Amino acid sequence: MQILEKAPAKINLSLDVLHKRDDGYHEVEMIMTTVDLADRLELNLLEKGTIKVESENRFVPNDERNLAYRAAKLMKDHYGVSLGVRIFIEKNIPVAAGLAGGSSDAAAVLRGLNKLWGLNRSLDELATLGAKIGSDVSFCVYGGTAHATGRGEKVEQLPAPPPCWVVLAKPSIGVSTQTVYQSLELEKAHHPNTKAMIEALRKEDFAEICTNVGNTLEGVTMNLHEEVGQIKEQMNQGGADAVLMSGSGPTVFGLVEQDARAQRIYNSLKGFCEEVYIVRMLGYREIT
Ligand SMILES: C[C@@](CO)(OP(=O)(O)O)[C@H](O)COP(=O)(O)OP(=O)(O)OC[C@H]1O[C@@H](n2ccc(N)nc2=O)[C@H](O)[C@@H]1O
Ligand SMILES: Nc1ncnc2c1ncn2[C@@H]1O[C@H](COP(=O)(O)OP(=O)(O)O)[C@@H](O)[C@H]1O
């Protein structure tokens, strides 16, 4: 028996860091939405209890360090399952990019094994379980557009943003989320207006969404890697309606309403950056 799951990337339309918690994590408030750039996972049933993970991407570990492996192990232990699984990941989302590729793979494994192993658990239960793997996994279980709080694991659905192009550009550096959070100096940081972003989404007001994009972590990563600022500048010069770094970076996204302009920005970045994509927002939950 085989199950296929799609694991879309996310962008953070806004990301506010409120304070550092006693457990070492930061309390955050984020507006996240999925985009049409996705890994594809193939899950094959193994009668013996083994878990195997394969991917052809040299930056992705093929062992128990893979977040997809960790998701399968967690499901197996938590529900006492004796069956196993062989997971193949077709990796299309850039790695360590601020696009939650690993978290989305883990979430796809939770959803896929729920079917493959006949567990019949609710998405809410899978999302709660997923938080044990990483802060972004709960959001990735549902996809769509959401307001995420706590360390990111408390997820409330929001209306989808109005359709537009999303140009993604990742400079050829990987960024460690932990290093970025550790380097943040909260007293000097910029804080986006999350309330205004939620209001803009409710009103389906594209211009207001663009005005209110913001990310507390952007300044930190930009100080560590000047390429982030350079890409931002290029997207702004190309006339993107909004430009922001996603998550802890280093991927920068541009929201663009006009087709021709989006294509022009994409073409201009192609010469400058190895990994550039032009995608649509998914916005609504594909998973129910
Ligand atoms: C920054 C964000 C924004 O969406 O995404 P990415 O850039 O990773 O895509 C997330 O907060 C990342 O979530 P995720 O990648 O799941 O992080 P985790 O594995 O839970 O944590 C990695 C490390 O980041 C720090 N961390 C993470 C989340 C949080 N709210 N506070 C933190 O301080 C901790 O040091 C932790 O050890
Ligand atoms: N399935 C996976 N896909 C991508 N990266 C993974 C995966 N499993 C483990 N990793 C590790 O997790 C780290 C962060 O990956 P990723 O989720 O792509 O980035 P981000 O947290 O910035 O969105 C990478 O350094 C990678 O080695």
pLDDT at 125: 98
Q: Is 30 in the pocket of ligand 2 (CB under 6 A)?
A: no
Q: How far is the CA of 178 from the centre of ligand 1 (A)?
A: 7
Cα(46)–Cα(213) distance, integer angstroms: 45
Q: What is the DSSP letter of 271?
A: T
- Other beta carbons less than 10 A from residue 126's beta carbon: 23
What is the CA angle 124-14-32, rounded to 5?
Answer: 30
Residue for token digits 């938080």? Answer: 131
Which pTM was predicted?
0.97
Listed by start position, the domains of the chain span: 2-157, 165-280
Q: Which of 135, 104, 142, 99 is nearest to 11 (CA)?
A: 99
Q: State the ligand closest to the CA atom of 97.
A: 2
What ligand is nearest to the CA atom of residue 57? 2
Q: Give pLDDT tens digits for 118-153.
A: 999 999 999 999 999 999 999 999 999 999 999 999
Q: Is 166 annotated as a binding residue?
A: no
Q: Which CATH architecture has domain 2-157?
A: 2-Layer Sandwich (3.30)
Q: Is the CB of 100 under 6 A from ligand 2?
A: yes
State in Å: Cα 136 to ligand 1 middle. Answer: 7
In angstroms, what is the span from residue 206 Cα to ligand 2's centroid? 31
pLDDT of 174: 82
CATH 3.30.70.890 matches 165-280: yes
The set of catalytic residues is: 10, 136
Q: CA–CA separation, 88 vs 242, rounded Å?
A: 36
Beta strands in 139-271 (DSSP E): 145-149, 154-157, 165-170, 214-215, 242-245, 252-256
pLDDT at 276: 98
242 SS3 class: strand
Q: Is the CB of 99 under 6 A from ligand 2?
A: yes
Burial grade of 22 (CB within 10 A; 0-12, 13-18, 19 or more): exposed
Question: What are the residue ranges in the chain where pLDDT is below 70?
Answer: 288
Q: Is 246 in the pocket of ligand 2 (CB under 6 A)?
A: no
* pLDDT at residue 288 in the model: 62
Residue 98 among known ligand-binding residues:
yes
